[in-house]
Amino acid sequence: IDDHRRWCQRDLSQKRYVYWWADGVYSNVRMEDRLCLLVIIGVTEHGRKELVAVEDGYRESEASWSELLLGLRERGLTTSPKLATGDGALGFWKALSKCYPDTRHQRCWVHKTANILTAVPKSVQPKVKAALHEIWMAETRADAHKAFDRTLVRFESKYPGAMERLRKDRE
């Protein structure tokens, strides 16, 4: 506990992160208040991955993420990362916009894919998953937009709910 406390209070004034991945991780322990671990992994300007933060929070609320992010700022992490990647939980994005307003937002494709696949029958999931991979694995932005449009045309008539989940995060 003392090691973790010291780590959570360490000076971050010399740290610079280009990218962050953020997620709330829930355990299988049944708790009524939906306690989760808020996790940020960063990539330094030298390409090294580091664990930036692990703190408990209430669900993935804006208040919990704000407390974590403000704590990082107070310990010296004042330079915004260029890009943060996370799931669709709005609490992180709202808190990030307030604490690090210069950071660009990007939806995580692992989470996005899982979210879309839950809206189609299991028998179709491999085809939809392959089409989604063509989007995020495209070599250029233009190729990604073409793959995006092909996916919508191919699956929208049968699975409009799934394709709406894809469409809403086009940017």
pLDDT tens per residue across span 86-130: 887 789 999 999 999 999 988 878 888 988 999 999 999 999 999
**Residue 57's closest CA among 33, 35, 86, 27?**
35
CA dist 126 and 105 (Å) reads: 28
* Residue 103 and residue 51 share a domain: yes
User: Which of 86, 107, 128 finishes a domain?
Assistant: 107
| CATH number of the CATH domain containing 54 | 3.30.420.10
Please report which confidence band the pLDDT of residue 32 belongs to, taking 50, 70 and 90 as the band edges.
low
For residues 13 and 93, state if they share a domain.
yes
Look up the pTM and report it: 0.77
Strand pairing partners for 56? Answer: 37
Q: Mean pLDDT across the chain, nearest whole number?
A: 91
pLDDT, mean of residues 42-49: 95
Same domain, 64 and 74: yes
Asked if 73 and 19 sit in the same domain, the reply is yes
Domain that holds residue 146: 109-167
